Amino acid sequence: MGALEQTDPEMVKLIRQEQRYQLETLRLIPSENYTSAAVMEAQGSVLTNKYSEGYPGKRYYEGQRYIDKLETVVQERAKALFHMEHANVQPYSGSPANMAVYYALLEPGDTIMGMALPHGGHLTHGWNVSFSARFYRAVQYSVDPKTHLIDYDQLRDLARSERPKIIVAGATAYPRQFDFQAFGDIAREVGAYFMADISHIAGLVVAGAHPDPAPHADVITTTTHKTLRGPRGAMILCRAELADRIDRAVFPALQGGPHNHTTAAIGVALAEAATPAFRDYGQQVVRNAKALAAELLERGFTLISGGTDTHLILIDLTNKGVIAKKAARALDRAGIVCNYNTIPYDPRKPFSPSGIRIGTPSVTSRGMGEEEMRRIGALFSTALDNVEDEEALQRIAAEVREMAEAYPAPGITDRMAVGA
């Protein structure tokens, strides 16, 4: 960062502090991961200098001969990896991608049916503080109060009674697999589009560690980071007959020029995801989550749905007698980074809920396995037993740093963090 050091030493200091933080902590937030150095190189390339409104072969700017080829390559990689007929790789992030799908397929006031946010869904699936509930009629399905699983009979009954125009499968805090075939069957029965938002599980789908929505979905949306290990961006994949509507919704309806440097970085991540090594990675993410869940259960933690099939674990801390927000902050001081989270039927308010959400994508990217997950579970438990004991938390943080040093973070070198 020589040029940046000369131009803005204050920014260099902050970046290096964050680099060291990412090196020395165990990052258990399920939506975070480490990109490769190759992804970061593409993201930081001269492509950031370009402006390219439109699509390959149909631009509003000259000088796009290489950008057109680049975006076409990324589209083809996305289509091959996710088994869909069309790919739009221009959305800036997941929420705009979902907005584009609604814009393309719905009219204002049409009904969206998605998972309720407190039960694991996403804001853009029709929650009341989101645009998706302001411009569309939103109905929400929930999980069973006892099992915390989706009740597909209840889902069908709700769809039959509400007649949604689009049904959304996807979540940010649901630790079990989705039955995409059931969603697709229900959508067809009531004449709805079926949209699978696989932002959290895209890497698991690619790795064969989660069922594939492609045979059943009309549209798939996904972010490109999380389990996919790419840059912060998004994609929309769809059936050929919807391609033009989706493309026109992204541009010109909702966005201007694409971020070409991000498109290139997405392409690099897709190439990496097409390798046998990535398949092994995705399978290990799930094995690690199951091992961590088992360790936490042995230590008396209550897990929503009783465990996990995916990369994430949702913990109900009620029986531990500690408020989740306080617990998350204590864990952070101990070098274990997670987030407090609402649980289904949570009696507490969203800004101070009962749950903690953790996941294994980042620690798996560092090469950790089931044995390390058991150790992390022990450190996690010890930290929560000592939320008021700062000396104990610092001792755990020292152990975490030692553990982290043994498993280098992909894409980050010690040289990059010197001077933090």
Instruction: Kindly list the catalytic residues.
Output: 51, 53, 197, 223, 226, 232
Closest CA to 288 of 229, 232, 366, 211: 366
Closest CA to 383 of 315, 333, 316: 333
User: Which two structure tokens, joined as six digits, stand for 82?
Assistant: 């996710």
Cβ(135)–Cβ(83) under 8 Å?
A: no
User: Which two structure tokens, joined as six digits, stand for 187?
Assistant: 């959508």
Q: Which amino acid is at 189?
A: E
Q: Which residues contact 24 (CB under 8 A, 6 or more apart)?
A: 335, 400, 401, 404, 405
φ, ψ dihedrals at 289, nearest 5°: -65, -40
- The half-sphere exposure of 172 on its side-chain side, counting CA atoms within 13 A, is 22
Residue for token digits 């998350």?
Answer: 328
> What's the residue count for the chain?
420
- For 96, the 3-state DSSP assignment is helix
**Per-residue burial over 200-224, b = 16 or more CB atoms within 10 Å of its CB, e = otherwise:** bbbbbbbbebbbbbbebbbbbbbbb
Cβ(68)–Cβ(290) under 8 Å?
A: no
- For 78, the 3-state DSSP assignment is helix
Query: How far is Cα 112 from Cα 355, in angstroms, rounded to an integer?
Result: 27
Closest CA to 106 of 131, 86, 141: 131
Q: What is residue 60's DSSP assignment? A: S
Query: How far is Cα 12 from Cα 9, in angstroms, rounded to an integer?
Result: 5
Cβ(262)–Cβ(52) under 8 Å?
A: no
Strands 355-359 and 339-341: antiparallel
Q: Which residues contact 146 (CB under 8 A, 6 or more apart)?
A: none
Distance of CA 133 to the CA centre of its chain: 22
Q: What is the DSSP string of 138-165?
A: EEEE-B-TTT-SB-HHHHHHHHHHH--S
